Structure 1
């Protein structure tokens, strides 16, 4: 029995291939990791799908900066999700806030329904809300969300571990809370001992990919 899933965050095809070779159980595919990850190109998604044997989760984020999107940007997000559906990746990863710095539950629900049958991951936009735990409670009412990527409202999983623990308790065996935020092969075991999560996310979760 594998005790937890190691999800490697990768920014190009070479890193994706290396992550799989180094023992990643799945990847989150992005581009522009220096901007905290944006939507990868269709070509990259397609090639990664052809060359990898592990599940691929695709970041859907049309630009850097905040998570308040215009109607045009939401159209772009939908087009990216549509492409991901056609390639048969495992999941799409997105997050939307409203002007009050809360998750935009209505828009997230619409996009979740639109993304079916793909799995849906709500990303670290939740960490920018005023109360991540309260926002998680609202999120759990949406049918179809499979995972929430979070560092417990802090800069790193280590700093946010107490809130992460509460989030994990709130979800139980339902929605998968995926701790993230400077998790590497060096601190993973120690964090797992405290959190006991089913999956963890990081750029160096299976070591250096460069």
Structure 2
């Protein structure tokens, strides 16, 4: 079991400092820091980012999502995302997590590229906005062309990784041989992580309960 754990990153999704500390103690290799997990995660405030990055010894990625709902953002919301990314960079955050779509259910490649360039040298994860678009597999091929995107988070359009496994595998195939890592999510817990790894052989997995209750 311990040998298997070294093969992949366990990214724990947390809301604050105590959850982050608990996640690290329980074996998480990376943190995704959010506010309002009940709304699937919004941009946390600067004090929360400072506190978690100061007290955790594992990498922290911060979600940049200005509101709940869809991922088609107004110019004002886009500017707030840029500001949040600048803040994270100034605080020495390891990476940021975001996703932007167009009104016709495609990934907004132009705005994505602008944010990725702004984020450098931080790592970038494209979050489950990829599950909201019409053709994630084709979109992977476009995202590969953007230097600086490190990871794509997906549940394969399913509520769980089991429901979305076929699409996750197709996305992994599309990304094979590139710098992009597909990170499965969707109800991945300490109890089914080994089963998920047997299915996907991914380099990273994401979940609120991936190292147990926090």
TM-score of the aligned structures, taking structure 1 as reference length: 0.97
User: Which of 169-178 and 186-195 deviates more?
Assistant: 169-178
CA distance in 2, matches of 1:103, 1:57: 21
- Per-residue CA deviations over 1:61-114 (Å, capped at 9, x if unaligned) read 011011011111111101100000011111000000000011001100111011
Name 1:135's counterpart in structure 2: 139
2:87 maps to which residue? 83
State the distance in 1 between where 2:173 and 2:76 align.
37
Compute the RMSD of aligned alpha carbons: 0.9
Tell me the residue number matched to 1:58: 62
In structure 2, the gaps of 5 or more residues are none
How far has the Cα of 1:45 moved from its partner? 0.4
State whether structure 2 residue 167 is matched by structure 1 residue 163: yes
2:35 aligned with 1:31: yes
Query: How many residues align structurally?
Result: 209
Hey, what's the Cα distance between the residues in 2 that align with 1:189 and 1:166?
20
Runs of 4+ with >2 A deviation: none
- Corresponding position of 1:95: 99
- SS of the aligned residue for 1:147 comes to strand
Any idea what SS the aligned residue of 1:182 has?
A: coil
Query: Structure 1, unaligned stretches of length 5 or more?
Result: none
Other-structure match for 1:118? 122
- Given that residues 68 and 97 in structure 1 are in contact (C-alpha distance below 8 angstroms), is that contact kept between their aligned partners in structure 2? yes
Structure 2-normalised TM-score? 0.95
